[in-house]
A and B are shown apart, each in its own frame.
Chain A
């Protein structure tokens, strides 16, 4: 088994044990400190017990040595008769003396040669005392007269015995030395060894008792250590409580909740410093969060609530009315002359107009009412606690307010009016998006009726049918999003000047109830009214890139041109999706062209330019769709960083027969070339048109004549063949 396999096996076992022991995957600081404390306590306990046993063992041995010295002195005194009288009865007296001391294992009295026992006392159950051999006799005899006249025989320690050997001596003063004896003067004495005492002290006896005492002591120590560990655990927990208490607010903070406060429970300087720092950080985050929320919820130009925030407010209002009853009204306001001002005076002037109008509306409304910017020149107003009559009156008042408003710019005076659609919020019968859609439809009705007026949406209106269709579409769209049933079709865009790049426009199709494919022109207005454009954009981006990845993996060097709505510029997540998807399928940004309509680009001009530039910096390309269809101005081309200009179909479809369209196309191509842009002609339906486009210098062409949108990529040869047909047309 290899080391790696063994390591993996053990890691798996450890993991299983952790699960079995219900240990957390990541150990806490408190737990780690407690473990350390426990380990230290265990080590200390082991050290203490070991030390206790070792010291006690040595104390016993030393104590027995001291006792042996004391005992041998006494045994020397009481044992003298054994050497004198040989009276064995005296041995009984010695036994009577020592038998009450169980630590005495044996006492042996030897004669002067150490060869014969003159008396012996032994405890029966103990092993045979060690021999008193000649070498030992000589060693002991040499100690006679010394300050410590005894020898400890360490060999006996193996039998748990302290053995002491002692020479029994007698002394006599020199011949007639007592004549004129003076005790203070050292009288010459002679010494003689008359025998030996062999004393054995039984360590086992003390050790047995010691072990019992130590066992109790160890248990007591263990108990107190455990008590200390518990106290330590409590202390550690208490000491770290301020730190632990940071965990919950920090977890909330990590989940984006900045409405937390770290309360300092401890006076420890470090904890207070951490808490203060965290509170400062939280305050800063809260401040930034407020700014971000404001940026997310409010329109940066007019400082009005934006569409998303307005929808949430409206949603709350709907619920409030559901619970408490009453009614409110939603006003969809569209400025009638905004595009004219914008085109005439520039977008800066348009912005100033929007700011002034927003201030006008805000000033007119009550404190509880909400004025929001829906986008471009469209405003939303929520008037609370108002009935139908009140709503009509307020709509009239707003119309009148705008009629009395004059926008002055560069010495010119502009009268800017507005069309207003009103939808009532009552009984909770409509959802938020439905209410917006109702107000939007009513606004369109007001415009249709001549602008500068209002229209109150009525359930019995003939717009109800359109509303029903919108609701139906929104349901289909939601089902397609959730069921992933949208379809993508791909229409080729071919180069008219020999370019080799294979470009396909990605077109979205919604499967209908009967399986038919519904064109975007039918369901996108409903999607926009119901706020579904962001989701659709993400679906299209994700699936288009996935298909592009597959095509590229299959070896097809193709480029996809993907349509984006204006919602992309309002939702920053869209670009995150773009980047993540691109990375997921390992695509080059150069293989993507994003198409935005002229109207979308103009509506979000500053934001669009900023985002487009950042994406182009990464390698993406952009095409301005439907150029010329609206209130287009060539000046926008200077400000929009696009590589392609797609000429609107209204100039192409009759190009062969309409001289005006030819002139327009020529002009657009000239301007585009001057700006370094390439042009794409849509809706090419015949060979004659291709020839003309080639003649005018249009770079690319797209249309049913070249290739209709298909679920599969059209074959490159068939596309080329279609283009080549144009070359054979006789003018």
Chain B
């Protein structure tokens, strides 16, 4: 009787241990199935425990958490930058064009193609505070860019204020996304292409051409100046050099003649009459041979004087 009772109690204990082991085994399998997972690089897992936010795991590698339904997880990409394009300046269909055309501060229309580079900054917000993060990003990007473009003139947006437009748009976009608790971090906004609309593109190009024409006219004029002025300077130098030459020559000639005269004068002083006579006769010797001579008594009038043909013609 006692043996039977012992047997039954032992059997009961064995059964209980067996059931316990079964239950534990089942739990272990359940945990392996739902509580074990792998996190890759750039991934984050948001863990809810019984529906409430518990923690965010972002280390790479194998992870363990409490099994379903105690803990649940959602995995999000946080490491990778993502890009979103807006607009197409070459678009022809109405919808795409509408996305691209924007109004500027000076009441003009400009076509803007831009890119938003972003990543998930707050996985919890991204998952549980906002219903469709991507769609919100798209519309908020448009809103932000248009508001900022509206602050500038068309020349500013196309030209030198492009950088300011981009950075202000990024700032405004981040402000909006934060207000919406979208959990998105804006890394950069870039303006890829900014063009005037098709129907006025020619007029815009003409302004560029006109600017170039202006530069060219000025360059040509400066080229002219660079030619004319040096030429004038050259002429100036020539004239002055010639004048110097004239002056030097004049002085040299004068000096030469003066010293020649002075030397002669010295000799003259030593024997004036003789020198005078000599000089006189020398001169006559030069002059008289060439000239036509007629020796005639003054007072005798001749009705006709045969003049030599050479003298008549005035040869010298």
- Physical interaction between A and B: no
Interface positions of A (Cβ within 8 A of B): none
